[in-house]
Structure 1
Amino acid sequence: MDRGVGIFLCLLLVTMDISAGILGIEAEIAQNKVKHLRLWIFECKDPSHKAFMLGLAAAVLLALAHVIVNLVGGFNCLCSQPEADKASPNRQLSMASLILTWIVLAVGLSMLVIGTSSNNKSSGSCGFTHHHFLSTGGILCFVHALFSVVYYVSATAS
């Protein structure tokens, strides 16, 4: 692949992940602006449509960035331990960062979906406090950007 295309793809992935992270944090801010009543570990709050839309956009961007990085990074597989031991350091780094991107995606997307779904209801809800799901998911989008770039660079170098 051309070097300019590779730089463009890295910038695109980083931009998508950073945008998702910012949207997740903005969704948390919008969620905190709605009326809520807190009593010890229980909380009653009204849903925020703005937080729902921002969280949904963040989740979609994170998932889309992950799909793109997996498509352009190739489908490398180290299926057995002897293969992993014989692989080049670039390939080992590629596989490690691929696994880390999947872990960060699973946790970050889960956090964004939980935070977004709590704002999906048509009326207020009461239950245990669920703080900072959207902002934690947003921060994990930044981590996903880091591991995605490492994966893409190491996968194309090996």
Structure 2
Amino acid sequence: MGKFLDVLVCLLIVALDVVGGILGLKADDAQSQERHLKVWIFECKGPSHDAYVLGLAAASLLVIAHVIAILPCFSPKKASFSKNLSKLFFCLTWIVVAIGLVMLAIGILSNHKSKESCGVSRGHVLKHGGYVCMVHGFFAVAYYATATSLFSCGD
């Protein structure tokens, strides 16, 4: 029963990250529908409420998937190579989630304003944040799989 539950948790992590990624891509589409003017690296564009909501939902799903992924109990058994691999995936998961949240936050904040804003172009940060959500799914599942095969809960 334990391995079946681990597989379900991995599928849940992947599903949350993929849906978060898709929402990030849809947020970028919604943002690109707004009126904007671009000259070289400077850009003026109006905020999109839809992009704001979709970006916020993508960031929320990324955080939920990350919290679920890092929940395995930590009572080490043995196997030094697998333990080191687990630590590597753990660090990569944190790095990827930080990058994804920063990118999504930049996109969310640029669409939170009630008036048009001008400045340096932040080209497609919501789209790239959506892609990072999907990459997070890979590293989170890899971490969860290595951590649950090494660590036992309640033994």
Tell me the TM-score normalised to structure 1 length: 0.90
Do 1:18 and 1:145's aligned partners in 2 also have CA atoms closer than 8 Å? yes
| 1:142 equivalent in structure 2 | 134
Q: What amino acid maps onto 2:132 in structure 1?
A: L
Question: 1:33 and 1:141 mapped to 2: Cα distance?
Answer: 22
Following superposition, the deviation at residue 76 of structure 1 comes to 7.0
Question: 1:87 and 1:39 mapped to 2: Cα distance?
Answer: 56
User: What is the aligned residue count?
Assistant: 149
Do 1:76 and 1:95's aligned partners in 2 also have CA atoms closer than 8 Å? no
Following superposition, the deviation at residue 3 of structure 1 comes to 1.5
Correspondent of 2:90 among 98, 117, 123: 98
Question: 1:75 and 1:50 mapped to 2: Cα distance?
Answer: 40
Gaps of 5+ in 2: 151-155
SS in 1 for 2:89: helix
Following superposition, the deviation at residue 38 of structure 1 comes to 1.3
Following superposition, the deviation at residue 140 of structure 1 comes to 0.6
SS in 2 for 1:118: helix
Do 1:94 and 1:155's aligned partners in 2 also have CA atoms closer than 8 Å? yes
Q: RMSD between aligned alpha carbons?
A: 1.5
| 2:100 equivalent in structure 1 | 108
| 1:118 equivalent in structure 2 | 110
| 2:6 equivalent in structure 1 | 6
Q: What amino acid maps onto 2:56 in structure 1?
A: L
Following superposition, the deviation at residue 69 of structure 1 comes to 0.8
| 1:152 equivalent in structure 2 | 144
Tell me the TM-score normalised to structure 2 length: 0.91
Gaps of 5+ in 1: 78-85
Percent identity for Structure 1 against Structure 2: 51
Do 1:62 and 1:105's aligned partners in 2 also have CA atoms closer than 8 Å? yes
